[in-house]
Chain A
Amino acid sequence: MSRVHDMGGRFGHGPVIPDAADAPVFAEDWHARALAVTLAAGGLGQWNLDMSRHARERLSPKDYTRFSYYEKWISALADLLVERGVLTADDLRGVSDDERHELAERALKAAVVPDVLARGGPADREAGPEAIFAVGDAVRTLRPAGNRLVDGGHTRLPGYAAGALGRILRRHGNHVLPDSNAHGMGEAPEPLYAVVFPAAELWTHPEHPGDEVVLDLWQSYLEPA
Chain B
Amino acid sequence: MPHDHHDHPHSLLPPEPALRVKALETILTRKGLIDPAALDEIIDTYETKIGPQNGARVVARAWTDPEFKAQLLADATAAVSEMGFYGRQGEHITVVENSPVQHNMVVCTLCSCYPWPLLGIPPGWYKSDAYRSRAVREPRRVLADFGVALPAETAVRVWDSTAEMRYLVLPMRPEGSEGMDEEALVELVTRDSMIGTGLARVPG
Contacts and interface: CB of A to CB of B under 8 A. Distances in A.
Contact of B8 (A9, A53, A75): A75
Interface string B162-183: 1111000000000000000000
Interface string A37-72: 101110010000000010011111001000111110
Interface in B129-148: 129-134, 136-142, 145-146
Interface in A117-167: 117-124, 150-153, 156-158, 160-161
Contacts of A59: 8
B88 A77 contact: no
Contact of A208 (B110, B131, B140): B140
B66 interface: no
Interface in B70-108: 86-92, 94, 101, 107
B55 interface: no
Nearest to B112: A69
Given A79-B10, A175-B164, A74 B24 contact: yes
Nearest to A157: B162
A217 B162 contact: yes
Contacts of B30: 98
Contacts of B22: 30, 33
Contact of B27 (A87, A117, A160, A218): A87
Interface string A1-29: 00001111111011111110001111111
Instruction: Count chain B CB atoms within 10 A of each CB in A14, A40, A183, A217 and give the residue with the most.
Output: A40
Contact of A78 (B24, B158, B192): B24
Contact of A121 (B91, B112, B134): B91
A104 interface: yes
Contacts of A10: 129, 133
Interface in A166-225: 170, 172, 175-176, 178, 183, 192, 194, 196, 202-203, 207-218
15 contacts: A5-B110, A7-B109, A17-B145, A18-B145, A19-B124, A26-B47, A28-B18, A41-B34, A44-B33, A83-B9, A120-B88, A124-B92, A183-B1, A212-B158, A217-B163
Interface of A: 5-11, 13-19, 23-30, 32-37, 39-41, 44, 53, 56-60, 63, 67-71, 74-79, 81-83, 86-87, 89, 91-94, 98-101, 103-104, 107-110, 113-114, 116-124, 150-153, 156-158, 160-161, 170, 172, 175-176, 178, 183, 192, 194, 196, 202-203, 207-218
